């Protein structure tokens, strides 16, 4: 499966629609643009196995550039637009990019990135960069003679340390060979030619990028939002009769906190599947989403590394509330500190045995840290029940040891985020003279005018009514905006560093 088949069979069908502007790329145009990209890569001397880096906002050319790399046998590294020049520059150098493509909207950071052999700018000028669109226009729209399948090499979001490049072997065979992810989304969610997929997240992240490309492999239409807005998201579902989408729990929370009249008039009848992952979803949030959308909320648990995969539908979740599903890739093993396999119901470190092995680019030490006799780990803590359903407790690195007791912040965060005056919350341990660590919360209020002692007291009372004393924060501070990745992951280490320094 590949877009070139759909370009031949349904050339005028929309492949990509930009949600804010309505700009559209048909399958014929996607085929032409991706061929021009592949021709340009070859003209610049890039051959199979070489790497390109893409530092760009969501825009019409993003996916065609990736498809050009895929059909040219290249490795394409998509870089988070939230990074500083130093952070993004590390990735550009570490991945060995021979070509860097950047959005003009990111010019201040892009101009400070390390020099590579070739640099091109999308949608305007960047000092030291050539203009991409004329360079593409100058290339033939025919297929290159030596097509082969390329792949992405994405970097972890760096929520617990420096980003790591996740690499696997280049696929062998034709560019349209079947792949595991496309088979999964067809089986689990019904992706196909009639799918209209709304993508509200940045395309540089693994799930949006790979799911959008899976939609193109199966002949559907992708609607790309430049930035998530809950009311606009609901309006787009109605406007385009969206059938599928993928969200993160923070998006659910924002939609649920819209005024009742906005939610009541939203026409969501076309939806067949809303898929969520990337971060734990509070039970109350998921219950309310299923009540609203019906049994169309699907969840999976995996990571960019791809060494394991669990999934479940709404009916399964209602019977196993809080679970992230049963394993479809890899055997789940829960281990204690001595690497003994724990029985159902006991909490430990989660490993996937028998799945694809994890490899970090240029970093054998980190590769060794996540690999063991029991398989690979994403660094999470949890347990399985008697039916084999997995439940996540938190990331191991986020665990708080307070007075000798292990406290997992996720439960406290799930409780506080449901308060009507809270927009976002982070809970972590801070130094304490007698306890070692104390549970601490930083809250982003919905209205900054509410921040202060009165709201702190109200939230502490709210937490005490729902949590045991050991899980209740000792204190709550306020921040105008938490450092949360657009994919829903929280850069908790940035908050912790303020206190531990």
Residue 267 lies in a domain: no
The answer to whether residues 163 and 64 touch, using CB atoms and an 8 Å cutoff, is no
Residue 181 lies in a domain: yes
Which residues are within 8 A (CB) of 291 and not within 5 positions of it... i.e. 6 or more apart? none
Quickly tell me which residue has 């009372």 as its tokens.
Answer: 461
Which of residues 182, 214, 246 is at a domain's end?
214
Supply the pTM of this predicted model.
0.85
CATH code, domain carrying 370? 2.30.38.10
CATH code, domain carrying 426? 3.30.300.30
When pLDDT is cut at 50, 70 and 90, the band that residue 276 belongs to is: very high
CATH code, domain carrying 143? 3.40.50.12780
The answer to whether residues 150 and 69 touch, using CB atoms and an 8 Å cutoff, is yes
Would strands 400-402 and 405-407 be described as parallel, antiparallel, or unpaired?
Answer: antiparallel
Strand partners, 205: none
| Residue 386 and residue 403 in one domain | no
Other CB atoms within 10 A of residue 148 CB: 19
| Residue 370 and residue 409 in one domain | no
pLDDT of the residue at 233: 98
Residue 273 lies in a domain: no
| Residue 482 and residue 336 in one domain | no
Of 156-165, 305-314, 338-347, minimum mean pLDDT range: 156-165
| Residue 190 and residue 141 in one domain | yes
| Residue 74 and residue 205 in one domain | yes
Mean pLDDT, the chain, whole residue set: 92
Residue 75 lies in a domain: yes
| Residue 205 and residue 354 in one domain | no
Residue 90 lies in a domain: yes
User: What's the CA gap between 32 and 27, in Å, rounded?
Assistant: 9
Domain residues for the domain of 194 are 3-214
Residue 17 lies in a domain: yes
| Residue 346 and residue 449 in one domain | no
Per-residue pLDDT tens over the stretch 453-473 = 999 999 999 999 988 888 899
| Residue 381 and residue 405 in one domain | no
The pLDDT of residue 158 is above 70 = no
| Residue 392 and residue 403 in one domain | no
Please state the domain count of the chain. 3
Which of residues 375, 396, 417 is at a domain's end?
396
| Residue 384 and residue 493 in one domain | no
Residue by residue, DSSP assigns 103-139 as: EGGGHHHHTTSPP-SEEEEESS--TT-EEHHHHHHTS
Which of residues 396, 423, 451 is at a domain's end?
396
| Residue 119 and residue 54 in one domain | yes
């Amino acid at each position: 499966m590949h877009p070139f088949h759909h370009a031949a069979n349904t050339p005028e069908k929309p492949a990509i629609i930009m949600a804010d502007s309505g700009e559209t790329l048909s399958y014929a145009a996607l085929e032409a643009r991706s061929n021009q990209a592949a021709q340009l890569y070859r003209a610049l001397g890039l051959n199979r196995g070489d790497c390109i880096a893409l530092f760009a906002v969501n825009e019409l050319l993003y996916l065609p550039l990736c498809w050009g790399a895929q059909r040219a046998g290249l490795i394409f590294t998509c870089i988070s637009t939230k990074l500083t020049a130093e952070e993004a520059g590390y990735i550009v150098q570490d991945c060995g990019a021979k070509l860097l493509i950047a959005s003009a909207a990111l010019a201040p950071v892009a101009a400070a990135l390390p020099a590579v052999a070739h640099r091109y700018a999308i949608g305007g000028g960047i000092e030291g960069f050539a203009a991409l669109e004329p360079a593409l226009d100058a290339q033939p729209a025919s297929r290159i003679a030596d097509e082969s399948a390329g792949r992405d090499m994405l970097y972890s979001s760096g929520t617990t340390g420096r980003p790591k490049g996740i690499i696997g072997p280049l696929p062998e065979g034709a560019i349209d060979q079947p792949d595991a992810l496309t088979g999964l989304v067809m089986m689990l969610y019904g992706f196909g030619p009639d799918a209209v997929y709304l993508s509200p997240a940045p395309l540089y992240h693994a799930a949006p990028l790979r799911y959008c490309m899976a939609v193109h492999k199966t002949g559907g239409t992708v609607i790309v939002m430049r930035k998530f807005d809950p009311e606009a998201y609901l309006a787009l579902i109605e406007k385009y009769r969206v059938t599928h989408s993928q969200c993160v729990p923070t998006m659910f929370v924002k939609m649920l906190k819209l005024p009742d009249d906005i939610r009541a008039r939203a026409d969501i009848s076309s939806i067949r599947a809303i898929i969520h992952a990337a971060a734990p979803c509070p039970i109350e949030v998921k219950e309310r989403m299923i009540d609203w959308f019906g049994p169309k909320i699907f969840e999976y648990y995996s990571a960019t590394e791809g060494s394991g995969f669990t999934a479940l539908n709404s009916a399964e979740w209602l019977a196993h509330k809080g679970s992230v599903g049963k394993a479809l890739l890899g055997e789940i093993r829960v281990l204690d500190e001595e690497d003994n396999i724990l029985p159902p119901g006991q909490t430990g470190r989660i490993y996937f045995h028998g799945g694809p092995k994890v490899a970090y680019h240029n970093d054998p030490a980190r590769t060794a840290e996540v690999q063991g006799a029991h398989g690979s780990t994403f660094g999470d803590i949890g347990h399985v029940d008697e039916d084999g359903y997995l439940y996540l407790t938190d990331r191991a690195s986020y665990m708080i040891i307070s007075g000798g007791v292990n406290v997992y912040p996720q439960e406290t965060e799930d409780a506080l985020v449901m308060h009507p005056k809270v927009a976002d919350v982070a809970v972590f341990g801070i130094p304490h003279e007698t306890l070692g660590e104390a549970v601490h919360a930083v809250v982003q209020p919905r209205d900054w005018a509410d921040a202060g002692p009165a709201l702190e007291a109200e939230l502490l009372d709210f937490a005490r009514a729902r949590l045991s004393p050991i899980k209740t924060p000792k204190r709550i501070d306020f921040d105008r905006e938490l450092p949360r990745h657009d994919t829903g992951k929280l850069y908790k280490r940035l908050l912790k560093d303020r206190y531990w320094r």
